[in-house]
Amino acid sequence: DGGITQSPKYLFRKEGQNVTLSCEQNLNHDAMYWYRQDPGQGLRLIYYSQIVNDFQKGDIAEGYSVSREKKESFPLTVTSAQKNPTAFYLCASSSKLGTEAFFGQGTRLTVV
Amino acid sequence: KNEVEQSPQNLTAQEGEFITINCSYSVGISALHWLQQHPGGGIVSLFMLSSGKKKHGRLIATINIQEKHSSLHITASHPRDSAVYICAATSGTYKYIFGTGTRLKVLA
């Protein structure tokens, strides 16, 4: 089935460690996005990619990094520089930038 | 003040009730989206609309461009409708602007 797969569903990290969240899509979409969700707040954009080998910072990119080496994959690394990384992370894709987005199931990251 | 505001924040209904969730926005938009987030966290797109009204099953979404307001209606609500419903606006760029969501619980 076509869709977006995020893994893992739950992730625990010790303070000071980097961690990478996976996002894969088989929808042949050019654009991919990473969002962060915190209780009581709307989703906030971390990074987005319009096309392979290109990505841009969103509203809250500090402490995060991404890569887009393949069309299907857009991994997000939460670095030790992110001060408050505990959150729910959602990946999305769309056929082109700005068109209707399809979302993954999310990864819940907890820093212990 | 958020650019996309939803009300109510929380809503509890009895099975069978007619439910309305409201969304107001203060930005120019190219489309207004209604999304559903289930307890597991995944998000599903319900509607994307730029004018008028759309219907899918028991769900109806309307938008009034002049008043910058949209509503999501659920007819004959069911416990399986329990979820967080999120309104989001896009303005022709890459960016979705999300509301904070309405948590709906439908009791049997």
Q: What average pLDDT does the structure give for chain A? A: 93
Closest alpha carbon within chain B to A6: B42
**pLDDT of the residue at B92:** 66
Torsion of CA B28, B6, A101, B51, to 10 degrees: -50
Q: What is the pLDDT of residues B22-55, one digit of tens each?
A: 999 998 888 999 999 988 888 999 999 999 999 9
Q: Which A-chain residues 18-77 have CB contacts (< 8 A) with chain B?
A: 31, 33, 40-45, 48, 50
Contact B100/A102, CB-based, under 8 Å?
no
CB B106 within 8 A of CB B13: yes
- Which DSSP symbol is given to A73? B
Q: Which of residues 27-66 of B touch A (CB under 8 A)?
A: 30-31, 33, 35, 40-45, 48
Query: Largest alpha-carbon pair distance within chain B?
Result: 42
Place of tokens 């299907």: A72
* Contact of A65 with A79, CB cutoff 8 Å: yes
Give the DSSP letter string of A8-59: -SEEEE-TT--EEEEEEE-S--SEEEEEEE-TTS--EEEEEESSTT--EE-T
> In Å, how far is B80's CA from the nearest CA of chain A?
18
Whether the CB-CB separation of A32 and A21 falls below 8 Å is answered with no
Summarize pLDDT for A52-65 with one digit per residue, the tens: 999 999 999 999 99
* Nearest-angstrom CA–CA distance, B71 and A33: 26
Work out whether strand B52-56 and strand B59-64 pair parallel, antiparallel, or are unpaired.
Answer: antiparallel
Distance from the B79 Cα atom to the nearest Cα atom in chain A, whole angstroms: 21
Over the stretch A68-93, which tens digit does the pLDDT of each residue have? 999 999 999 999 888 899 999 999 99
With beta carbons less than 8 A apart as the criterion, state whether A47 and A61 touch.
Answer: yes
Residues of A in contact with B99 (CB under 8 A): 42
Query: DSSP letter string over B18-87?
Result: -EEEEEEE-S--SEEEEEEE-TT--EEEEEEESSEEEEETTEEEEEETTTTEEEEEESS--GGG-EEEEE
